[in-house]
Copies of this chain bind each other. A is one copy, B any other.
Amino acid sequence: MITIIKPDFNQILKAAERIKPYAHRTPVLTSESLNRLTETQVMMKCENLQKVGAFKFRGATNAVYALSEAEAARGVATHSSGNHAQALALAARLRNIPAYIVMPDNAPAVKKSAVKDYGGRITFCEPNQQAREATLARIIAETGAIMIHPYDNALVIVGQGTAALELLEDHLDLDAIIAPVGGGGLLSGTALAATGISPGVRVIGAEPEMADDAYRSLQAGKIIPSLNPQTIADGLLTSLGELTFPIIRDHVEQIVTVSEQAIIKAMRLIWERTKLIIEPSAAVAVGLLLEKKIALSGLKAGIILSGGNVDLDNLPWQSHPH
Contacts and interface: CB of A to CB of B under 8 A. Distances in A.
Interface of A: 27, 29, 32, 48-49, 51, 53, 268, 271-272, 274-278, 308, 312-313, 315, 317
Contacts of A308: 275
23 contacts: A27-B27, A27-B29, A29-B49, A32-B51, A48-B275, A49-B274, A49-B275, A49-B276, A53-B275, A268-B312, A271-B277, A271-B312, A272-B312, A275-B276, A275-B277, A275-B278, A275-B308, A276-B276, A276-B277, A277-B277, A312-B315, A312-B317, A313-B317
Given A49-B275, A276-B277, 11 more contacts: A29-B49, A48-B275, A49-B274, A53-B275, A271-B312, A272-B312, A275-B308, A277-B277, A312-B315, A312-B317, A313-B317
Contacts of A49: 29, 274-276
Contacts of A268: 312
A312 to B, nearest CB: 6
Contacts of A51: 32
A313 B53 CA distance: 23
A273 to B, nearest CB: 8
Nearest to A315: B312
Contacts of A276: 49, 275-277
Nearest to A33: B117
Contacts of A29: 27, 49
Contacts of A275: 48-49, 53, 276-278, 308
A272 B312 CA distance: 8
Closest 7 CB pairs of A and B: A275-B308, A275-B277, A27-B27, A48-B275, A53-B275, A49-B275, A277-B277
A53 B32 CA distance: 12
A277 B277 CA distance: 6
A278 B276 CA distance: 9
Contacts of A32: 51
A80 to B, nearest CB: 20
